[in-house]
């Protein structure tokens, strides 16, 4: 029996502030390392989280960073290693490296280009179509996005596998150890500060609902690739940027209601976490949320503040809603996704 080839992972995501893409990449890689300890994680030297890099035993190579490192230094390093299979789990990878498997998380750069910087959109419009034509296989995080990829890039049909997001090890450990805390009159939103998340509509809807004693907490961070809107201010709305995992999990634990009014997502990790934390969840009625979370959330139009205000009042008064009784689909599991990725790479490289 032939020994399986060593898999290499493009760990450039370790140099980036964590959004959903980076969280998926890290959690899947942690599980992959448990399954195949011989996997090699290769990263630039400008690591954002040394703790995460240490958990993966990441090998830092080269002297550059960003696209230069990914497009020049990484493929040269791999060719010296005999061109082994490469997983790029965070949307982009080296264009001229064919023995590659890529996770493409969404097509927001096509659907909502105005929500990103011009440079980001130009790079993705150049890079993604060419990558999808050359690589061996594509992973993505929902059936909704899988269908979108096949529609926009027909040459990927038959080469797409869905590998879902899940709950992080840190999240699970926190809620296993945490004592049950009484929910407070808090409403929570989590995500990067960009137009796609629809914070302005959410704030308007929350304030117009005139919910006595409730506060709205918004946790996120700014990234240069995104454009954002000017958000209204109020002493009932509080913003928190780049909080620790523990502070984020505590916010989920205390929040009675969670809101996500995104106009587009590839998955929506915060929604999954909010459901698991026992929050009543109000979601925009976009296709991916309908696919993943129907039965566990309330749906609301994404661009209608008045509708959100009405929905929040109904949610608060709904005594039949027992969020702790919901059951998460077992497919939302990073270990299962890691096993699918490894199996696919071993069969196709």
The whole-number pLDDT of residue 193 equals 82
Q: Does residue 198 sit in the same domain as residue 64?
A: no
Which residue's entry shows tokens 């498997």? Answer: 101
Q: How far apart are CA 60 and CA 33, in angstroms?
A: 17
Domain extent, residue 118, equals 8-166+333-348
Q: How far apart are CA 10 and CA 50, in angstroms?
A: 16
Which residue's entry shows tokens 């630039």? Answer: 44
Q: Does residue 142 sit in the same domain as residue 217?
A: no
Tens of pLDDT, residue by residue over 196-247, are 899 999 999 999 999 989 999 999 876 544 445 556 667 899 988 878 999 9
> Is 24 inside a domain boundary?
yes
Q: What is the pTM of this model?
A: 0.92
> Is 50 inside a domain boundary?
yes
Spatial contact of 184 and 214, defined as CB atoms under 8 Å apart: no
Q: Give the other-Cβ count within 10 Å of 166's Cβ.
A: 27
Which residue's entry shows tokens 């450039």? Answer: 12
Spatial contact of 180 and 140, defined as CB atoms under 8 Å apart: no
How many alpha carbons fall within 13 Å on the CB side of residue 77? 22
Question: Domain with 183 in it: what CATH number?
Answer: 3.40.50.2000
In the structure, what pLDDT confidence band is assigned to residue 259 with cuts at 50, 70 and 90? very high
Q: How far apart are CA 2 and CA 238, in angstroms?
A: 57
Q: How far apart are CA 141 and CA 148, in angstroms?
A: 12
Q: What number is the average pLDDT over the span 71-92?
A: 98
Tens of pLDDT, residue by residue over 284-304, are 999 999 999 998 999 999 899
Spatial contact of 48 and 25, defined as CB atoms under 8 Å apart: no
Task: Report the share of the chain in percent with pLDDT over 70.
Answer: 92
Q: What's the length of the chain?
A: 349
Domain count, the chain: 2
Q: Between 64 and 192, name the one with better pLDDT.
A: 64
């Amino acid at each position: 029996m032939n020994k399986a080839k060593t898999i290499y992972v493009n760990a450039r995501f370790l140099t980036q502030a964590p959004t959903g893409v980076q969280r998926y990449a890290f959690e899947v890689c942690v599980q992959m390392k448990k399954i195949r300890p011989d996997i090699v994680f290769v990263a630039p030297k400008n690591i954002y989280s040394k703790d995460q890099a240490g958990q993966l035993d990441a090998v830092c190579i080269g002297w550059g960073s960003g696209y230069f490192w990914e497009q020049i230094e990484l493929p040269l390093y791999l060719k010296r290693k005999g061109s082994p299979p490469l997983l790029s789990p965070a949307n982009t990878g080296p264009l001229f490296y064919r023995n590659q498997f890529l996770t493409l998380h969404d097509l927001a750069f096509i659907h909502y280009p105005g929500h990103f910087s011009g440079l980001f959109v130009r790079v993705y419009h150049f890079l993604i179509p060419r990558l999808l034509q050359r690589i061996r296989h594509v992973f993505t995080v929902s059936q909704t996005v899988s269908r979108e990829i096949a529609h926009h890039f027909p040459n990927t049909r038959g080469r797409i596998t869905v590998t879902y997001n899940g709950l992080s090890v840190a999240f699970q450990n926190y809620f296993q150890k945490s004592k049950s805390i009484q929910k407070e009159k808090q409403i929570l939103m989590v995500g990067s500060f960009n137009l796609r998340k629809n914070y302005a509509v959410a704030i308007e809807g929350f304030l117009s609902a005139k919910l006595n004693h409730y506060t709205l907490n918004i946790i996120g961070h700014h990234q240069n690739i995104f454009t954002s809107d000017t958000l209204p201010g109020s002493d009932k709305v509080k913003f928190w940027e780049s909080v620790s995992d523990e502070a984020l999990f505590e916010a989920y634990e205390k929040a009675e209601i969670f809101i996500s009014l995104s106009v587009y997502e590839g998955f929506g990790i915060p929604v999954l976490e909010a459901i698991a934390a026992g929050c009543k969840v109000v979601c925009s009625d976009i296709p991916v949320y309908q696919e993943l979370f129907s039965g566990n959330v309330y749906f609301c139009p994404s661009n209608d503040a008045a509708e959100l205000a009405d929905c929040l009042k109904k949610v608060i008064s709904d005594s039949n809603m027992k969020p702790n009784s919901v059951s998460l689909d077992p497919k939302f599991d990073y270990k299962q996704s890691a096993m699918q990725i490894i199996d696919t790479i071993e069969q196709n490289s």
